[in-house]
Amino acid sequence: MSLSARDKAELLALIAADKPVPRALLEPLLALPDEGEFLWPGKTAPDPAPPHLCLRRDAASVPRNAAIDPEGAHNLLFHCDNLALLYTLVHAPVSLPQMPKQRPRLIYLDPPFAVGADFFAGRDGEKVPAFSDKWENLAGWLNMLRPRLKLMRERLADDGCLCLHCDRRTVAPARLLLDECFGKSRFINEIIWHYTGGGRSKSRFSQKHDTLLLYAKSGRRHFNADAVRVPYKPGSGYAAAGITARSGKHYLPNPLGTPVDDVWDIPMLNPLSSERTGYAVQKPERLLERLIAALTEPGDLVEDYFCGSGTTAAVAHKTGRQWLACDAGPAAAAIAATRLRNLGAAFTLYRE
């Protein structure tokens, strides 16, 4: 398909006048694939050059515990730019101290949600900045996330999965972006995390869920359904006696319960919960427990590059997984380090 002479003249006139160009004049020039392509301002620009990563070991790091770490595997907490860290992990891993010997079977990602606000954390009795979630437009959010997702895909183990946590503001573009980075065939689940609490809307259905988008790196992935079964509902006839199929075969209930589906009813953290760290948007450990149990085995490596208060690392520690966590925010790094020390986790903290 090509432009007519009249269309070309109109296109040139619009460009010369610095006016918006209608889509009908652009599509013939873009050579889009048959299924179309997800485009946004700035997408075609080269990926940003990652800054040079220069790390120093924090003097307050917990020393390595050889008794629980006989083979040299070690947990790492980074206070640095995650793009620089990911680039180094993928392209120059030998330059990093105490590099994990394995690649992650799970990367959990809880980035900013494009809310348009600043968030804070309670630290040492004061309110301090945690992170800014303000963007000029959605394109800025996409341009931040895209190079990181591409590196995370390279970083994953061949049988690994990535789980991106988002909400109603970004779930649609995030799904398209993940389709592009991983391939549509690698989509596994759209998990709905349903929670209660807070106010109720009188003008629309109350918004009480987040979305977790789960993608695999390849067709070979790990999943343990038995690790996350839940009790049968009270009064369930199947739970009491099983069912008989039309063929006459009788199926007994599983003693571990029924498999989990893709809608998870997990409460948000209670304001008085012992898990509370004072960090904004902290996620409950139960949410990460289910993901980590289903998608990894003890001894596997779990990574989180927007680690916030350190929930992913805390759950990985409690369940016998190795972990690597990173956050650029000073409040996040301090709160996560304190939380992990209080759990008795052995790790090293590196700062840029």
Residues across the chain: 352
Strand partners, 349: 77
Q: What is the pLDDT of residues 266-289, one digit of tens each?
A: 999 988 899 999 998 999 999 999
Alpha carbon distance 150, 155 (integer Å): 9
Q: Is the pLDDT of residue 64 over 60?
A: no
Strand arrangement of the beta sheet that strand 187-194 belongs to: 56-57, 347-351, 75-79, 322-327, 301-304, 106-109, 161-166, 209-216, 187-194, 263-265
pLDDT digits (tens, 9 = 90+) for 300-316: 999 999 999 999 999 99
Q: Distance (Å, rounded) from C-alpha 74 to C-alpha 249? A: 50
Res 72: pLDDT = 42
